[in-house]
Copies of this chain bind each other. A is one copy, B any other.
C-alpha cells in the first residue's frame, strides 16, 4: 500500500499544493498573456455526459418553474407585467463533465490528505475538511503535454500507460520545463469520445500511472488535468491496484486532479504554455465540482 506522509505545510493545512498558488506566480502567468486569445477547455454538461457507475451517477435536469405557470402565479398575486421565470432543478454528482477533484475525494485506507482521519472528516453530508470550497482560485501557468500521437495515431488506447519518459519527451518536444506552481494538462486524444461514444469513452483510457504522477508531483505542480475520466490509466496494469494515482496525487501529494478536459484545440495550435484559469464553485463540503477552465495566451 502507498504510504501516507504528512503535509509539509503543517498539520492544519487543507490546501496542499494550492499553497504554491502565490500572488507572484499568478501575476507572472497573467503577464505572460500576449494577445488575449481564449481557449475553452470544458465540455457541455447534459444527461448525455458519461459517468462511471456506481460511484458516479446520472445527471438529471428538468424545468422546475416555467414561464406559463410563473406568469399565472404572478397574475394571481396582482402583477400585470407577465414576467415568466424559467428555473430548473438538477440532480447530479459533482464529478460530472469537466470537473476538479477536491483533496478529500480519495482516501488511502482510513486516511485522507495530511493524515486526516476519514472517519471524522467524511460525514453523511459531505466533508468537514478538504472540501472543494478550500480549493483556491487557480490562476497560474498551464503546461500542455501532448502525448496523443506517441503511438502513431490521433489518440492513445485504453490501458496505455503514460510514463515519466513520455512526459519528459512531450515536455522536450514543447520546449518547456515543468515548474513549481504549474498546472499540467496531458493530451491523450481520448476526449473525442466524450458524449459521442460514451461506451467507448468509459471502457478504459490511457493515462499516467503512479510513476508518471510522481514525476509531476515531484516537480511541485498544483494540479494535473487530462482529457479522460480519471487522469490515470484504466485499467491499471496491476489489477490489484484501483485508482492508485488518485491516492498518490490527492491524498499524498495534495495535488488536484482535473478530468474530462477538452484539449484538442490547444494541442492543434501547439500551445505549450498559457495562463490557466479555473474557478471552482464553493460547494461547501463537496468532493469536487464541475468547472469551466480556460486557457489564455
Q: Which A residues fall within an 8 A CB radius of B? A: 1-2, 23-24, 26-27, 30, 33, 35-38, 40, 42-47, 54-58, 60-71, 73-74, 77-95, 97, 104-110, 118-119, 122-127, 133, 137, 139, 239-244, 246-247, 277-288, 290-294, 296
Complex A-B: 24 CB contacts under 8 Å: A23-B36, A30-B33, A45-B281, A45-B282, A54-B65, A55-B70, A58-B60, A60-B89, A63-B126, A71-B107, A78-B239, A81-B240, A81-B241, A83-B107, A83-B246, A83-B247, A89-B89, A89-B91, A137-B294, A279-B291, A279-B293, A281-B290, A282-B292, A283-B290
Asked if residues B88 and A94 are in contact (CB atoms below 8 Å), the reply is: yes
Asked if residues B240 and A61 are in contact (CB atoms below 8 Å), the reply is: no
Asked if residues A89 and B83 are in contact (CB atoms below 8 Å), the reply is: no
With a 10 A CB-CB cut-off, give which of A40, A57, A60, A95 has the most chain B CB atoms: A57
Q: How far is the CA of A240 from the CA of B137 in the complex (A)?
A: 42
Which of B87, B279, B284 contacts A277, CB < 8 Å? Answer: B279
Additional A-B contacts beyond A27-B33, A82-B107 (6; CB < 8 A): A55-B85, A62-B89, A78-B239, A89-B91, A90-B93, A280-B292
Minimum CB–CB distance for A56 against chain B, Å: 7
Asked if residues B282 and A43 are in contact (CB atoms below 8 Å), the reply is: yes
Which of B66, B242, B288, B290 contacts A83, CB < 8 Å? Answer: B242
Which of B1, B86, B95, B285 contacts A127, CB < 8 Å? Answer: B86
Asked if residues A82 and B55 are in contact (CB atoms below 8 Å), the reply is: no
Minimum CB–CB distance for A47 against chain B, Å: 8
Asked if residues B125 and A63 are in contact (CB atoms below 8 Å), the reply is: yes
Which residues of B are found within 8 Å of A26, using beta-carbon distances? 36, 38, 296
Instruction: Name the CB-closest residue of B to A99.
Output: B281
Q: How far is the CA of A282 from the CA of B294 in the complex (A)?
A: 12
Instruction: Name the CB-closest residue of B to A245.
Output: B83
Which residues of B are found within 8 Å of A87, using beta-carbon distances? 55-57, 93-95, 105, 287-288
Asked if residues A126 and B23 are in contact (CB atoms below 8 Å), the reply is: no
Q: How far is the CA of A247 from the CA of B70 in the complex (A)?
A: 13
Asked if residues A107 and B67 are in contact (CB atoms below 8 Å), the reply is: yes
Asked if residues B240 and A79 are in contact (CB atoms below 8 Å), the reply is: yes
With a 10 A CB-CB cut-off, give which of A60, A65, A70, A86 has the most chain B CB atoms: A86
Which residues of B are found within 8 Å of A281, using beta-carbon distances? 42, 45, 97, 281, 290-292
Asked if residues A63 and B123 are in contact (CB atoms below 8 Å), the reply is: yes
